[in-house]
Structure 1
Amino acid sequence: MTKITKAACIGGGVIGGAWAARFILAGVDVNMFDPHPEAKRIIGEVMANAEKAYAMLTMAPLPKKGTLTFCNSIEEAVQNAEWIQESVPERLALKRGVLTEIDAAASPDALIGSSTSGLMPSDLQAEMKHPERMFVAHPYNPVYLLPLVELVGGKQTSKETIARAGVAVEQIGMKGVVIAKEIEAFVGDRLLEALWREALWLIQDDICDTETLDNVMRYSFGMRWAQMGLFETYRIAGGEAGMRHFLAQFGPCLKWPWTKFTDVVDLDDALVEKIGAQSDAQAGGRSIRELERIRDENLVGIMHALKSGDGGKGWGAGKLLAEFEQRLWANAERPQTDLGQAEPIRILDTKVNAAWVDYNGHMTEHRYLQVFGDTSDGLLRLIGVDLDYVKNGHSYYTVETHIRNLGEARLGDALYSTCQILSHDEKRLHIFSTIYNAASSEPVATAEQMLLHVDSKASKAVPALPEVIAKVEAIAEAHAGLARPEGVGRSVGQKR
């Protein structure tokens, strides 16, 4: 199996529905089985949130959405599925029964993953006829945004299965980490359980309330963990002497009676009500769906920030996003555009999403530059300056841009952009782009740009390759008869 074309999701709750969204937005068809009477509504709401998040997450062209088909049985759902993901409630007998039923009906070479957050895969596969293809694929919520999935094999799981799963999750933009030995709760949930246990004691003992505890995390080490994790963060804390110095300095603290890890808090009715009331107050009346959308916007922003880390190479989840986008661009359908058409080329269709607007609900200033940058990138792909061209050491760099804001773009507005070549030579490309409101066809903004062809390895301007120049000339010849756009050559503040 080199590519997943059909998946099956058995169970469509918070995790199963988000798995379906992850697959569908990566172009994979999904069969869903969930006997819950409101499964279609719940999964539809999860899909809507996922689509909003992806609209903010990347401008790379997503593949054609996969189809979602609701099935009446497990047997029907798993037919011809190459990846089957079980996400039913966390009860061993229930999961074991469902996985055994999946095993009996699935295609012989189908991968079978379980979303369990703590059960041992050896226990889950105990009654399967083909246990070698079953493994734990433990994700984190929201599955459609957070890219990690823990891959854990049981005693009867083959190494080939884990290897295939690791390759397969890359297709849907995830990072598969292989856990070397099976253990209850694996790695992530063991860390979370330790933190959760201590947090419950802090609330129980009235040291702080839930909001204070969350503030301590999100304004400090939570941000460090988001991009470097635990050990690399502590390596830095050791200064120039590194991790060994850190361990020598802070290691003795582990013997101090600071925490209550070996003492379990009694979650009696009083403590449950205390936590529930504090959590209600902390939410400030926001619904779960509102909180999910806020969470998604924040996660998208963090990943975008991390994408620019390490000198633009990307860091952590941001590097993974950049690599996923590269695959999306590489696999995207080439635009079927007549380069000899005597009109500005329509390059980009997009929509103003929640991450693009300011406090007035208008598209913020730097997003115009982003759209114009994506427009020039689209033109470059049309003339053959694609990822392979760039990898071989050549590209066009934008050296000058003049943007005019002519109208307003608001949250939810559909936009499109066009591009016209004004002039060119072997090294330079002079273009004029316009962003339009798709509903009214009125111009919203224009940009005049000069691009310079460079040898990125030598860091100097060089002539573009002949095949690129030939395509530029074809477009330029068609555009030669067009009227010069109003606004070309304007200076800032110039009267109309």
Structure 2
Amino acid sequence: MTTITPSTITPSTITKAACIGGGVIGGAWAARFVLAGIDTRIYDPHPEAERIIGEVMANAERAYAMLTTAPLPPRGKLIFCKSLREAVEVADWIQESVPERLELKRGVLTEIDAHARPDALIGSSTSGLLPSELQRDMAHPGRFFVAHPYNPVYLLPLVELVGGTGTTADTIARAERAAEQIGMKGVVIHKEIEAFVGDRLLEALWREALWLIHDGICDTETLDNVIRYSFGLRWAQMGLFETYRIAGGEAGMRHFLAQFGPCLSWPWTKLTDVVDLNDALVEKIGAQSDAQAKGRSIRELERIRDENLVGILQALKGGNGGEGWGAGQLLANFEQRLWREAKAPALPDPSAPLRLVEAKVSAAWVDYNGHMTEHRYLQLFGDTADALLRLIGVDMAYVEAGHSYYTVETHLRHLGEARLGQRLYTTLQLLSHDAKRLHFFSCVHDAETGAVLATAEQMMLHVDSAAGRASPAPQAVLDRLAPIAEAHGALARPEGAGRFVGQPR
């Protein structure tokens, strides 16, 4: 085998992954890899592994369908293996996610180390074990690191990257690049410490929460409401320190620390005391949690969680003047890369209006009545127009080169109601075109019945962005339009084309 030196590894070379352990975390890692276009092998001796991972994968696919309309790469292959060696021997990135027991993990990592390629990255999903302890028995510890994700791995983009005493700096740098490839934010933790950073913060909050339940101050639902209706919303977009910087007013963080720093010495919390999780307290918390769930299964709660996370990510993607904020900015950057790398799609059957966009109405798309909001219809029609442009070669590279089509006129009609959870698709019929103009008619359909819920008639102009004026499209674009125009010229003019606002039916 030819040895590849670490310096030659780039994000585009992560084409094969392996997941050792396929539980909640391991299965979600597999989903993250597969949906990023990476062939993934899994080894888990659990008899229900395929079923469990299949359910996680289904949730991930459902979430991604709501998360983005950017063209995902062709789905990677998901392969279940009968041995650890079979799973890891060809992988570029191997992710270990077995139960959190030091000796078990050491044994598994040593076996991975023995069978992995010399250039493979080996990550561990441990929530708190020190990487130096985990890599102790490995023959090649330099390529090992902790890659600690957050659940659900396929949606939450953070992964804490922590090296041990034997880990090379180049390994961490490669892991950062590989994380970027699969849409994650690799945060490098400078010193190894038990539980790293995220779980240290969570443990402090969790410890205090257990005392509040133990002492009867509140129940589990009240405590969760305190988080989700207040600082949880702030943390989602600005974290802790930037939130407190604002709380300091115009004087900023220094004023905040001067004003509230002394409070830290007050005996408010029980953070240094460990609550006794005896049978009575476990039953108390369990009963309150059961009541809070209101009969919803774990899978139902996972789906609700995913829908809400998608809505939050999409909202953050539009913040900061359209550049995105926090995890939303990461999603926007990931989508830009997907668009840039996307190949021109194959032309759908042009003998009928082109079926271009599939979507599902997410929680972020509805109003107080549970109906899809007006601007989401416009978004769907915009996505449909973009899909047509990609068909004719007007992709991200084309736009970056200084030319594009701009919408100059749109007429929408709302004929039905799209509701939360409803599956939709769009169609587009080209009405006319010339060297500078595209005139087309699009429909939003119910995916179950085919009923038309809304229509849009649009006119677009081909524009030289640098000059700021309309210009003829190049012949290559017009040539790709030609077969669509020829086929659609034989179609009946759609009902509603040419209507104006207020026109009697």
TM over 0.5: yes
Distance 1:30 1:278 in 2: 39
Structure 2 residue 32 is matched with structure 1 residue 27: no
Are the aligned partners of 1:8 and 1:31 in contact in 2 as well (CA < 8 Å)? yes
Structure 2 residue 53 is matched with structure 1 residue 43: yes
User: What code does the residue aligned with 1:372 have?
Assistant: F
Given the superposition, is the C-alpha separation of residues 437 and 295 from structure 1 closer, same or farther in structure 2, using an over 3 Å criterion? Answer: closer
Structure 2 residue 386 is matched with structure 1 residue 377: yes
Shift of 1:391: 3.1
Distance 1:17 1:136 in 2: 17
Are the aligned partners of 1:31 and 1:71 in contact in 2 as well (CA < 8 Å)? yes
Shift of 1:384: 3.6
Structure 2 residue 385 is matched with structure 1 residue 350: no
Shift of 1:471: 4.9
Shift of 1:9: 0.6
Residues 222-261 of structure 1: pairs in structure 2 closer than 5 A: 222-261=232-271
Aligned twin of 2:116: 106
Shift of 1:434: 3.2
Given the superposition, is the C-alpha separation of residues 26 and 192 from structure 1 closer, same or farther in structure 2, using an over 3 Å criterion? Answer: same
Shift of 1:382: 3.2
Given the superposition, is the C-alpha separation of residues 163 and 342 from structure 1 closer, same or farther in structure 2, using an over 3 Å criterion? Answer: closer
Shift of 1:385: 2.9
Distance 1:361 1:207 in 2: 35
Structure 2 residue 410 is matched with structure 1 residue 401: yes
Distance 2:222 2:424 in 1: 41
Residues 401-440 of structure 1: pairs in structure 2 closer than 5 A: 401-406=410-415, 411=421, 413=423, 415-424=425-434, 426=436, 428-436=437-445
Distance 1:262 1:408 in 2: 54
Aligned twin of 2:3: none
Residues 48-447 of structure 1: pairs in structure 2 closer than 5 A: 48-337=58-347, 346=354, 348-355=356-363, 365-406=374-415, 411=421, 413=423, 415-424=425-434, 426=436, 428-436=437-445, 443-447=452-456
Given the superposition, is the C-alpha separation of residues 473 and 76 from structure 1 closer, same or farther in structure 2, using an over 3 Å criterion? Answer: closer
Are the aligned partners of 2:393 and 2:477 in contact in 1 as well (CA < 8 Å)? no
Given the superposition, is the C-alpha separation of residues 56 and 322 from structure 1 closer, same or farther in structure 2, using an over 3 Å criterion? Answer: same
Are the aligned partners of 1:22 and 1:144 in contact in 2 as well (CA < 8 Å)? yes
Distance 1:228 1:453 in 2: 39
- What is the CA deviation profile of residues 355-412 of structure 1, one whole-angstrom value per residue up to 9, with x for unaligned ones? 4577998766544322211111112223443223333454333233212345666755
Given the superposition, is the C-alpha separation of residues 438 and 201 from structure 1 closer, same or farther in structure 2, using an over 3 Å criterion? Answer: closer
Distance 1:272 1:440 in 2: 49
Aligned twin of 1:463: 471
Given the superposition, is the C-alpha separation of residues 332 and 392 from structure 1 closer, same or farther in structure 2, using an over 3 Å criterion? Answer: closer
Count how many residue pairs are aligned between Structure 1 and Structure 2: 492
Percent of residue pairs bearing the same amino acid type = 73
- Equivalent position SS for 1:309: coil
TM-score by length of 1: 0.92
Shift of 1:160: 1.0
Given the superposition, is the C-alpha separation of residues 403 and 388 from structure 1 closer, same or farther in structure 2, using an over 3 Å criterion? Answer: same
User: What code does the residue aligned with 1:245 have?
Assistant: H
State the superposition RMSD in angstroms: 2.6
- What is the CA deviation profile of residues 413-454 of structure 1, one whole-angstrom value per residue up to 9, with x for unaligned ones? 46341230424463x433222345567666543211123455
User: What code does the residue aligned with 1:334 have?
Assistant: A
Shift of 1:291: 0.6
Structure 2 residue 15 is matched with structure 1 residue 5: yes
- Equivalent position SS for 2:145: strand
- What is the CA deviation profile of residues 75-94 of structure 1, one whole-angstrom value per residue up to 9, with x for unaligned ones? 11112011110000000000
User: What code does the residue aligned with 1:370 have?
Assistant: Q
Structure 1 residue runs without a partner (length 5+): none
- Equivalent position SS for 1:30: strand
Distance 1:248 1:471 in 2: 68
Distance 1:168 1:323 in 2: 15
Are the aligned partners of 2:361 and 2:418 in contact in 1 as well (CA < 8 Å)? no
Distance 1:240 1:358 in 2: 35
Are the aligned partners of 1:24 and 1:30 in contact in 2 as well (CA < 8 Å)? yes
- Equivalent position SS for 2:494: coil
User: What code does the residue aligned with 1:173 have?
Assistant: G
Are the aligned partners of 1:347 and 1:379 in contact in 2 as well (CA < 8 Å)? no
User: What code does the residue aligned with 1:203 have?
Assistant: I
Shift of 1:275: 1.1
Given the superposition, is the C-alpha separation of residues 259 and 394 from structure 1 closer, same or farther in structure 2, using an over 3 Å criterion? Answer: farther
Given the superposition, is the C-alpha separation of residues 359 and 64 from structure 1 closer, same or farther in structure 2, using an over 3 Å criterion? Answer: farther
Shift of 1:105: 0.9
Deviates more, 1:131-140 or 1:266-275: 266-275
Given the superposition, is the C-alpha separation of residues 487 and 158 from structure 1 closer, same or farther in structure 2, using an over 3 Å criterion? Answer: same
Given the superposition, is the C-alpha separation of residues 414 and 449 from structure 1 closer, same or farther in structure 2, using an over 3 Å criterion? Answer: closer
